[in-house]
Chain A
């Protein structure tokens, strides 16, 4: 399998001196779905922001699709690595859905016709094609989440990163999103606390705590390890618990 992200000895210290990431080594391969789990403050979001150059490590190196994270590669990397942020209202900053989905392709310098085509295609993919003219603040949270994904799909990325994608969603919207993500054929990195989603979608899981990778492996094996989960402020997902229901 082709390696799409390679992280070597990455360290990141915030300007206030807080160490967010320490000695991170990780490879992610094409079409893999990787879950990134850990307690609050483990460094998940900080790690994600390194993958398209929003944050730059104080030590170490990150390579995306063979390109070093450097100023000269940033435009290309940001087209290929799409981040869907935790809070849809941070992602949807334009007045209408169309403008938001068109924002990325327009910044890539595409023609008016190509942008329109990309917007239509991306909205169709998330089944929101009738929402082009709607204002973002009129959408429900589930709809906002879908449009947020469309805003990055319109850039035709190779790697999709989702930070807490199911947070605050009702069960129906969560299920729709999971089914959609299952159908989406591309490299996916999903960070969050929804461990059932990780079990269902991901082929690998990375457990992060205090800025370090604790373990990296098969989701069912890692998430079933009760002592490991509890040690790092997590819980074994219900679907993996050894319970028998007796009548």
Chain B
């Protein structure tokens, strides 16, 4: 079964992999904020190119990253199309009764570039360390414990959830349940979704019992082995400097 693991290439060796996860999360988060605040198309393009260079440096295969970008691309493509038709401005060309404006196209490209760059940066942030290590880093950074536990359980059980969903679809298909495109198929899909929720709920009860059996008291205790070195700070300084430059007033013009 294909598992959508964001940390599939966490075992590689690169300057991004060796970066302390805590400093990396903070620095790249600042860069993401900076990228989504960019208002200039050329600057957004520079941000995208720099991020592509970082992906290259991280040695994560481009095919892996771009394969997982497909949903973002689908969303941004739809958004760009809508903006091109709905934003008024200088007429670029006319398609039947629809007019496409230069401002609309520019805004669509800008938003797409920001979204794609931010997603790529998330890949760099979470894909260059084991997910468990990133979670430990979040906990060390005093992110609320409940949020960290929520992320941890989501990541741990998403694979099981997908596996159960796949088994139920196979079972439905083997009885001809999902072959048609009609109301009854929709009902079957609804039933599968409902059953998945019920099973997940029952599982949470059992996990709760297993956790309490091993002395859980509401707080997640994990061992971390983080060490900071000068390299971490140099990488952070460069990243934050780039983030600031992308939104510097003279660049914004």
**Chain A positions near chain B (C-beta within 8 angstroms):** 49, 52, 54, 75, 78-79, 82-83, 85, 87, 89-91, 93-96, 99, 102-104, 106-108, 112, 115-116, 133, 135-137, 151-152, 155
Whether B130 lies near A107 (C-beta < 8 A) is: no
For residue B152, give the distance in angstroms from its CB to the closest CB of chain A.
6
Contacts of A106 in B (CB 8 A): 221-223
Shortest Cβ distance from A55 into B: residue: B209
Residues of B in contact (CB 8 Å), total 27
Total contacts A-B at CB 8 Å: 81
Whether A137 lies near B132 (C-beta < 8 A) is: no
Contacts of A135 in B (CB 8 A): 132
Please, how many angstroms separate the alpha-carbon atoms of A90 and B3 in the complex? 19
For residue A65, give the distance in angstroms from its CB to the closest CB of chain B.
16
Please, how many angstroms separate the alpha-carbon atoms of A99 and B216 in the complex? 13
Contacts A87-B206, A116-B223; A104 near B152 (Cβ below 8 A)? no
Among the interface residues B214, B215, B221, which one has the most CB atoms of the partner chain A within 10 A? B214
Please, how many angstroms separate the alpha-carbon atoms of A91 and B156 in the complex? 12
> What are 24 of the A-B contact pairs (CB < 8 Å)?
A75-B215, A78-B215, A82-B213, A89-B203, A90-B203, A93-B156, A93-B210, A93-B211, A94-B152, A95-B130, A95-B132, A96-B132, A99-B132, A102-B222, A103-B214, A106-B222, A107-B217, A115-B223, A116-B223, A133-B130, A136-B156, A137-B159, A152-B213, A155-B214
For residue A191, give the distance in angstroms from its CB to the closest CB of chain B.
14
Contacts A107-B214, A115-B223; A54 near B131 (Cβ below 8 A)? no
Q: A82-B214, A93-B156, A94-B152 are in contact. List 4 more A-B contacts (CB 8 A).
A: A54-B213, A89-B203, A108-B215, A135-B132
Contacts of B130 in A (CB 8 A): 95-96, 133
Whether A107 lies near B215 (C-beta < 8 A) is: yes
Please pick, from A78, A87, A116, the residue contacting B214 in the complex, using a CB distance under 8 A: A78
For residue A237, give the distance in angstroms from its CB to the closest CB of chain B.
28
Contacts A90-B207, A137-B3; A95 near B156 (Cβ below 8 A)? yes
Contacts A54-B212, A78-B214, A107-B216; A95 near B223 (Cβ below 8 A)? no
Whether B212 lies near A78 (C-beta < 8 A) is: yes
Shortest Cβ distance from B219 into A: residue: A107
B135 CB–A CB distance under 8 Å: yes
B228 CB–A CB distance under 8 Å: no
Q: Which of B189-234 contact A (CB under 8 A)?
A: 203, 206-207, 209-217, 221-223
Whether A95 lies near B209 (C-beta < 8 A) is: no
Please, how many angstroms separate the alpha-carbon atoms of A72 and B212 in the complex? 15
Whether A137 lies near B209 (C-beta < 8 A) is: no
B160 CB–A CB distance under 8 Å: yes
Contacts of A115 in B (CB 8 A): 223
B33 CB–A CB distance under 8 Å: no
Contacts of A79 in B (CB 8 A): 215
For residue B215, give the distance in angstroms from its CB to the closest CB of chain A.
3
For residue B58, give the distance in angstroms from its CB to the closest CB of chain A.
20
Contacts of B132 in A (CB 8 A): 94-96, 99, 135
Contacts of A133 in B (CB 8 A): 130
B248 CB–A CB distance under 8 Å: no
Whether A78 lies near B213 (C-beta < 8 A) is: yes
B56 CB–A CB distance under 8 Å: no
Whether A93 lies near B153 (C-beta < 8 A) is: yes
For residue B177, give the distance in angstroms from its CB to the closest CB of chain A.
25
Contacts of B217 in A (CB 8 A): 107
Contacts of B216 in A (CB 8 A): 103, 107
Contacts of B214 in A (CB 8 A): 78, 82, 103-104, 107, 151-152, 155
Whether A155 lies near B207 (C-beta < 8 A) is: no
Shortest Cβ distance from A137 into B: residue: B159
For residue B148, give the distance in angstroms from its CB to the closest CB of chain A.
11
